[in-house]
Copies of this chain bind each other. A is one copy, B any other.
């Protein structure tokens, strides 16, 4: 399959299909060599495509009768079956008609259908969702941010391998630094699972990443490592806590800068600099969670994203499509299994 073909579920997300088409149009202007396979309801998408000429000229549309709603439970989504736009978009990756699929649809449904159709990579028990996290130096990758509610040591080691490959592909790090999230940096800290994982990781050899040991919550934004590994419960809470904190600090600043005439004049003068700052903390510029551990690439946009946010997730998908990330994961999983470094399954 061509690296330049991206499948899209145009009906997923709180403001679909409008913001999906708007976002894809932005991306198609930036990436004129990419072709999009669009899955959705014709009556809704067709009028939007007329106002998105760049996208229209670089896409093929496939009408789908049904859609997965944002409230559908994973089991309901699976039962709705093969005629939904989400199912068919993922199926395009399965059938090698597209290299990657993007959806802003509901996470549980997307993961369930993706697992059902694409299956996990040999050696992987559970896929993880990896998020990009801005830091002082550039960006890091944090996983799992919510595919699972827990993880044993074997899975956390898998997350390290998958996260490292993602960092190689997207952050251009040859040997990414990987850290295990914990409540202290001493070997005795934390629960049994993280301590057992630490004991496995510190002895691993022949892998393409550098294990840096435990890191703490504040180290994530400081950019101490390129890849932060944790279970899906902790990772989801950390990610959302950071989003809330950035929003709080942004609001404090806005209120402060509108508190006096002098401050308002100051804002006028510092306008360009403040705009650059706003872009840096704009969550739309870090949108896009990647499902790692499946036989195919799936990118999840935030469900509440606007057009700019959706185009960020789409650009991420396009970047990933040109990298051999799955092949790299398989190679390192094989090194791990046959390199006798770690038992097949480590119980927590």
Contact = CB atoms under 8 A, between A and B. Distances in A.
A241 interface: yes
Interface core residue of A135, A241, A260, A268 (most chain B CB under 10 Å): A241
Interface of A is mostly: helix
Interface core residue of A150, A232, A257, A277 (most chain B CB under 10 Å): A277
A43 interface: no
A242 B240 contact: no
Interface stretch (A85-93, A158-166, A217-225): A217-225
A1 interface: no
Interface residues of A, number: 60
Interface stretch (A114-122, A245-253, A291-299): A245-253
Given A221-B248, A263-B273, A269-B265, A237 B240 contact: no
Contact of A249 (B232, B240, B246): B246
Interface string A252-278: 110011011011011111111110110
Interface in A181-237: 181-183, 190-191, 216-222, 230, 232-234, 236-237
Contacts of A191: 149-150, 233
B273 A260 contact: yes
Contacts of A236: 183, 217
A32 interface: no
A221 B246 CA distance: 9
A141 to B, nearest CB: 15
Contacts of A239: 217
Given A217-B240, A242-B242, 13 more contacts: A149-B183, A149-B190, A191-B233, A217-B244, A218-B244, A218-B247, A238-B238, A246-B249, A252-B277, A260-B272, A263-B269, A263-B272, A266-B270
Interface of A: 134-136, 146, 149-150, 181-183, 190-191, 216-222, 230, 232-234, 236-253, 256-257, 259-260, 262-263, 265-274, 276-277, 280-281
